[in-house]
Amino acid sequence: MKSRFTTKQTTMTKISAAITAVGKYVPEYALTNKELETMVDTNDEWITSRTGIKERRILKVEGAGTSYMAIKAAEDLLEKSGVLASDIDMVIVATATPDMPVASTAAYTASKIGAVNAFSYDLQAACSSFLYGMSTASSYIESGRYKKVLLIGADKMSSIIDYTDRATCIIFGDGAGAALFEPNTENLGLQDEYLRSDGVGREFLKIDAGGSILPSSEETIKNNRHFVHQEGRTVFKFAVSNMADVAEKMLTRNNLTKEEIQWLVPHQANKRIIEATANRVGLEENKVMMNIHKYGNTTSATLPLLLADYEKVLKKGDNLIFAAFGGGFTWGAIYLKWAYNS
C-alpha cells in the first residue's frame, strides 16, 4: 500500500565565510633603525639580528588616531573591489589603541566610509585581535544573517610607546589593514580555528594606568605609566611555544601535510618567533608571509597587512594557516582557503 505521505529531500548548501577583498594603509613616515640610534642606546645590527625589523611606520598627521588609518584601509578595499559601503552589514575594528574610551572607533569608522546600514563595534585582544575578529566575522556570515562583514585591524602603537624605552620602541609601528568576509558555497574561506587565552599573561605585557584599576592622574602621567610595559623574555618564551603549537595543531587535526600548505600567515612580532613557527610545521621560508622588516609589529594590523602585501600571489584554493600571539595572553590559529585570484 502506498503511503499518503511523501518525503521531500532537500540538500542544504553549507555556507562558509570567505575573504573576498583586502585593503591597507601605512603612514608615510618611516622610523628607521638608524634614527632610533639617536633616540635610545641601540643600533641597527642589534635590532635587525634580534627582531628582523629595519623600519616601522609612524602616523604623524596632527589630531589623527587609529580611526584615520582604519578609514584609509577600508577606502582602499572599497575602491579596489567596487563594493558599495552602503551594502556592508557590519564593521568590526580590531584594535588595542581605540581613538578614545567609551566611544566606539568602529562606529565612527563605519560612518565616515558611508556604511550607513552597518552596525559596528571594537574588538580588543591585543596582537590576536584580528585573528579573533576573523572568527567573529565568519560566525556572523555562516549564521546566514549577514552577507558582508568588514573586518579592519588597525593600531596607532606610537601613541602608547615610550620612545626612551628601548625594550619596546624598537618593536612597534602604526598601520591598518582590512578584509571583507562574504558567504561562499564552494567550501572556500574559513575551515577551522583554535583560539586560546590565559590570564597569567596580564602581568607581562600591559599598560598599568588609564583603566578602572588605576585611573589617570597627575602621578600616573609623571611616572610614565600610560605606556606599554613588556617583559620581553617571558613574552618571547610564551609566544614561541604557543604560536608554534597552534599552527601545528591546525595541520594535524585537518590532516594537512606541509606540502598542502601554500602560506603561513604569522603575526609579525619578531622574526625569530616567525621562524620557530615555520620550523615546527616544516615550511620553507618561501611559504612564509613576512613584512616585519618594513612595518615592525603593528599589533592588530599585522595579519591584514600581510594579506594586502601578498594578495597578488594568492590563488583561489590556496591553503593558508594564520597564527598569532598577543598580550593577555591571547593566541590561536586559523585554517582558511583563499577564495579568489587577484
Q: Which residues are catalytic?
A: 127, 267, 297
Beta-carbon contacts of 44 under 8 Å, excluding residues fewer than 6 positions away, are 32, 33, 34, 37, 54
Whether residue 59 contacts residue 174, with contact meaning beta carbons closer than 8 Å, is answered with yes
CA distances from 99 to 85, 104, 109, 158 (A): 22, 8, 10, 13
Beta-bridge partner residues of 172: 297
What 29-33 contacts at long range (C-beta under 8 Å, 24+ apart), as own/partner pairs, is 29/57, 29/58, 29/59, 29/60, 30/55, 30/56, 30/57, 30/58, 31/55, 31/56, 31/57, 31/58, 31/173, 33/170
Query: Which amino acid does the sequence have at 182?
Result: E
Query: Which amino acid does the sequence have at 148?
Result: K
Going by the DSSP 8-state scheme, the letter that residue 243 receives in this structure is H
CA distance 274 to 265: 9
CA distance 14 to 288: 30
CB atoms within 10 A of CB 204: 18
Query: Which amino acid does the sequence have at 179?
Result: A
CA distance 183 to 158: 36
Beta-carbon contacts of 58 under 8 Å, excluding residues fewer than 6 positions away, are 27, 29, 30, 31, 158, 173, 174
CA distance 47 to 96: 24
Going by the DSSP 8-state scheme, the letter that residue 231 receives in this structure is -
Collapsed DSSP state (helix, strand, coil) of residue 225: coil
